[in-house]
Structure 1
Amino acid sequence: MDKILLMLQLQAQLNDATNGDNWTKGVTKNGKEINWKRCIYMECAEMVDSFSWKHWKSINQEPDWDNLQIEVVDVWHFIMSLAIENYSQTLRGQIEDLAINISSMNSFSNIDKKSELFASQKDIIANVENIMLASLSKDELDLDALISDFFDLVIMSGLDLETLYRLYVGKNILNQFRQDNGYKDGSYIKVWDGTEDNVIMKHIWEENGDIQPDVLYKELTKLYLALTKS
């Protein structure tokens, strides 16, 4: 419950900072429409590209498990945003109510257990496509089913509540770091010596499970300065 609540709060804070106070009404501070469902299915498409699904290209290439897990976390950003927006627009309650309801779901109990095993490529892609179908549907949103499918994906991707939480917080810090280093004006370098910054952030967490968010930010700064000065 605590980790779910904290992630929802962090996501709301991030959305407030980047989109303005009216983002739950579906519009940014600049008047641009927000479509969280589209964000979800577009990220899901990137997730599928973690696998060599193309029958005409790189057919023997191994799955990119690191990228898969990063994409799972990215989808989680947008599912949480959609859920907060939905609760606000339907008057179902506040973030605390959403956290309580998510934590009471049967599928949540499954991710609250340590997991490091990956499912098969076929099964993962099938699950991802279910999430895409839900986000593409014109029917009324079944939020609980969407979150349940996502929690199944968490397990299939070798993650659990603890690792999902750590990667989410890490990505939150990375997003802040990007904004502080020219992401909006296009000057930020996303690939560091051939490795995407997402993966570098993930490896820092894996090498030091007790690292604090402010220390993670400092580590990213040190590596980025070395990159830009070289």
Structure 2
Amino acid sequence: MDKILLMLQLQATLNEATNGDGWTSGVTKNSKVINWKRCIYMECAEMIGSFSWKHWKNIDQEADWANLQIEVVDVWHFIMSLAIENYANSHKGGVEELALDISELENFCKIDTKNELFASQDEIMQKVESIIFNVLNRDNFELEKLIEEFFDLVVMSGLDLETLYKLYVGKNILNQFRQDNGYKDGSYIKVWAGEEDNVVMKRVLDESSNFSPNELYNELTKLYLSLNKS
């Protein structure tokens, strides 16, 4: 439960910094409507792009498993945000109550076990499409089902709670870094010397298991400044 609670707390803090204190009302501090469900299904579509699913193009191309895992983490950002918003608006409680409820889900035990195995591409895409179907179901949307299916996806993508947490913290810090360096006004450079910043961040994490959030932020700053000087 501790790692779930920490991720929820980090997500709430990031959302407040990005969208304002009243973000759970569904509107940002800049009067922009927030639609977490749309964020989820659009990221899910990008996730499917990790596979050579087109029967007419690049049929022998290997799946981009590393990108799949990053996209899974991106979806988790939005699922947590949707869940926090749901609990706030339905008066179910804050992140502590949400973390407890998540840890008591039947599927939670699946991600709380070390895992490095991938399911087949078709199985993963079918699970992603099931998640999309749920969030698009306006009449019978089920938050608990969404989280449980996401946990299925975590396991199918070769992740577990520990690796999900590590990648989430990395992407959370990268998102903060983006916001601090012009992401909203469009001045931020997302491709660093031919590599997307997601890839750079993941490599930094892979090269050291002991990076604190502050140390990761500082390392990204150093690399980004080096990029702008070259």
Name the residue aligned to 2:217: 217
CA contact (8 A) 2:18 2:179 kept: no
* SS of equivalent residue, structure 1 residue 106: coil
* SS of equivalent residue, structure 1 residue 40: helix
Name the residue aligned to 2:198: 198
TM-score, normalisation: structure 2: 0.97
- CA drift of 1:112 comes to 0.6
Name the residue aligned to 2:64: 64
Separation in 2 of the partners of 1:32 and 1:177?
Answer: 21
**What fraction of aligned residue pairs are identical, expressed as a percent?**
70
- CA drift of 1:196 comes to 0.8
RMSD, aligned CA: 1.0
Name the residue aligned to 1:102: 102
Name the residue aligned to 1:161: 161
| CA deviation map 1:13-48 (0-9, x unaligned) | 111111112211111112221111000000000000
Separation in 2 of the partners of 1:217 and 1:23?
Answer: 24
CA contact (8 A) 2:39 2:78 kept: yes
1:192 partner amino acid: W
Name the residue aligned to 1:172: 172
Q: Which moved more, 1:115-124 or 1:24-33?
A: 24-33
* SS of equivalent residue, structure 2 residue 29: coil
TM-score, normalisation: structure 1: 0.97
Name the residue aligned to 2:27: 27
Separation in 2 of the partners of 1:140 and 1:95?
Answer: 24
2:121 partner amino acid: Q
Separation in 1 of the partners of 2:97 and 2:41?
Answer: 26
Separation in 1 of the partners of 2:220 and 2:31?
Answer: 33
- CA drift of 1:141 comes to 2.5
Q: Which runs of 4+ in 1 moved over 3 A?
A: none
- CA drift of 1:214 comes to 1.1
Q: Which runs of 5+ in 2 are unaligned?
A: none
CA contact (8 A) 2:111 2:151 kept: yes
Separation in 1 of the partners of 2:64 and 2:10?
Answer: 28
Give the length in aligned residue pairs.
Answer: 230
Instruction: After TM superposition, list the pairs within 5 Å mapping 1:84-163 onto structure 2.
Output: 84-163=84-163
- CA drift of 1:140 comes to 3.5
Separation in 2 of the partners of 1:215 and 1:94?
Answer: 29
Separation in 2 of the partners of 1:224 and 1:88?
Answer: 37
| CA deviation map 1:136-160 (0-9, x unaligned) | 1112321111000000000010110
CA contact (8 A) 2:7 2:168 kept: yes
Separation in 2 of the partners of 1:185 and 1:79?
Answer: 25
